[in-house]
Amino acid sequence: MKKKGKKYLAALEQIEPEKRYPLAEAVAKLKEIAFAKFDETVELTMWLGVDPRQADQLVRGTIVLPHGLGKSKTVAVIAQGDKLKEAEEAGADIVGGEDLVDKIKGGWLEFDALVTTPDMMRLVGQLGRVLGPRGLMPNPKTGTVTPDVKKAVEETKAGKVEYRVDKTGVIHTAVGKVSFDESKLEENTRTLVDAVMRAKPATAKGRYVKKVNLASTMSPGILLDEMSLS
Delineate the domains of the chain, giving CATH numbers in brackets: 19-68+160-229 (3.30.190.20), 75-157 (3.40.50.790)
pLDDT tens readout for residues 131-172: 988 889 999 988 899 999 999 999 998 888 889 999 999 999
Answer for the pair 94, 69: CB distance below 8 angstroms, yes or no: no
pLDDT tens readout for residues 70-82: 877 899 999 999 9
Predicted local distance difference test score (pLDDT) of residue 205: 87
Q: How far apart are CA 26 and CA 13, in angstroms?
A: 14
pLDDT tens readout for residues 168-204: 999 999 999 999 999 999 999 999 999 999 999 999 8
Count CB atoms within 10 A of the CB of residue 156.
27
Q: Taking Cα atoms as reference points, which of 156, 134, 130 lies closest to residue 143?
A: 156
Question: What pTM, to 2 d.p., does this model score?
Answer: 0.79
DSSP state of 217: S
